[in-house]
Structure formats: C-alpha cells, structure tokens
C-alpha cells in the first residue's frame, strides 16, 4: 500500500515514531516535546508542515523551561497528585500533537485520525496507568515512594523518546511490554486473583 508516495514500511515507521513519542508524553508532557524540538531544530527529525514552530529556538527554550518545571514539580508531595489530575487530559492532547507533528506525508484526514486515535489514545492510557501507580504509592507509602515513581517516569519518558527516534518499531514492543507489566503489577497490588 502506498499513500502519498510513502511505502508501507515508511508509513509503519512514521506511525511507530508517533505512537512511541505519544506514549512518552503519558509519562511527562513536555520532555518528549522537547526531544522532538531538539531533534527537529538540529535537522535530525522532519516535521509536518504545520509543526515547523517546534524546530524554532523559542520553542526549544520554552519547552526546556516547561520540562524542567514539570520534572521538579513531580518531586513535591501533593503537587505530584494534583499534576496527575491535570496531566490526564493534557496527555491526550500532547500525544495527539506530537504524533501529528512526526507523522508526515499522509493526507490530513488520515494523519489526524491516526494522531488522535493512536497517539492520543496511548498517551492517555500511559498517563492513566501512572496516575493509578502514584495514587497507590501515596496510599501505601504516605508519599515516600512517590519520588521513586517520579524518577522512573522521568527516565522512562526520556528513554522511550530517544528510543522512538532511534528504533520506532522496537519502541512499540517496549511500550506494550511495559504497559503489560505495569497493569499486572497494579492487579497484584489490588489483591485481585488472576484469571486461570
């Protein structure tokens, strides 16, 4: 199948890149966008026509500040849980935007449908899982375990973003495995018996 001169393999790579970066926005909103901005600014990542603003010095500076503030805020007890409440709908939007920015050479209708369904969907799912993890950590450890969760999310967001740029298809496999492990771990914490 060829869409707008794009081979099936190129299309798969483009979609996998968008989904990988979207999943990373479910862990941290601004860090994956900063990675995309830096890669585009240095000429290592082509962006869709309407997203050239991400490759500008001003976007790079604003996203750097936003990412730093977000990272630090997740280490403040109470603020981290509040941010999770705000980040859940924001992750859907950020996942959609970052997916649409890197999915190139598709008709606009197809591009936005893929960005909303795949990008926004995986970002929302990832954010929902981490929100539940932090809530359980808050209850079980009295917020003492939350910095560990925040550090894991930060590392995961950075690693998934960089892996998505280097090996998009492998990133999809990593995302599926990590979400499966997180959901399984949450089930074990809930004490619900596993189906036989």
C-alpha Rg value of the chain to the nearest Å: 17
Q: What is the 3-state secondary structure (H, E, C) of 129-178?
A: HHHHHHHHHHHHHCCCCHHHHHHHHHHHHHHHHHHHHHCHHHHHHHHHHH
Task: State the pLDDT at residue 115.
Answer: 93
Estimate to the nearest angstrom the gap between the alpha carbon of 159 and the chain centroid.
Answer: 11
Please state the separation of Cα 181 from the chain's center in Å. Answer: 17
Summarize pLDDT for 93-149 with one digit per residue, the tens.
999 999 999 988 788 898 899 999 999 999 999 998 888 888 888 888 888 888 998
Query: Given pLDDT bands bounded at 50, 70 and 90, which one contains residue 23?
Result: very high
User: Is the pLDDT assigned to residue 3 strictly greater than 50?
Assistant: no
Q: Where are the domains of the chain?
A: 8-190
Q: Which of 22, 153, 19 is nearest to 95 (CA)?
A: 22
pLDDT tens digit sequence for 47-92: 988 899 999 999 999 999 999 999 999 999 889 888 888 888 899 9
Q: pLDDT value at position 75?
A: 93
The pLDDT of residue 192 is 55
């Amino acid at each position: 199948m060829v869409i707008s001169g794009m081979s099936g393999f190129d299309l798969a790579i483009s979609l996998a890149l968008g989904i990988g970066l979207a999943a990373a926005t479910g862990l941290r909103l601004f860090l994956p966008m900063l990675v995309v901005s830096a890669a585009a600014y240095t000429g290592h990542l082509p962006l869709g026509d309407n997203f050239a603003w991400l490759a500008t010095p001003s976007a790079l500076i604003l996203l750097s500040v936003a990412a730093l503030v977000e990272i630090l805020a997740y280490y403040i007890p109470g603020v981290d849980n509040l941010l999770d409440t705000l980040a859940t709908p924001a992750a859907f939007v950020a996942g959609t935007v970052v997916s649409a920015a890197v999915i190139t050479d598709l008709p606009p209708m197809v591009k936005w449908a893929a960005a909303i369904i795949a990008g926004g969907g995986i970002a929302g799912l990832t954010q929902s899982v981490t929100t539940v993890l932090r809530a359980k950590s808050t209850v079980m450890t009295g917020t003492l375990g939350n910095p560990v969760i925040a550090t894991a999310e930060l590392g995961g967001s950075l690693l998934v973003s960089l892996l998505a740029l280097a090996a998009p298809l492998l990133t999809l496999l990593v995302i599926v495995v990590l979400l499966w492990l997180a959901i399984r771990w949450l089930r074990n914490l809930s004490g619900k018996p596993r189906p036989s």
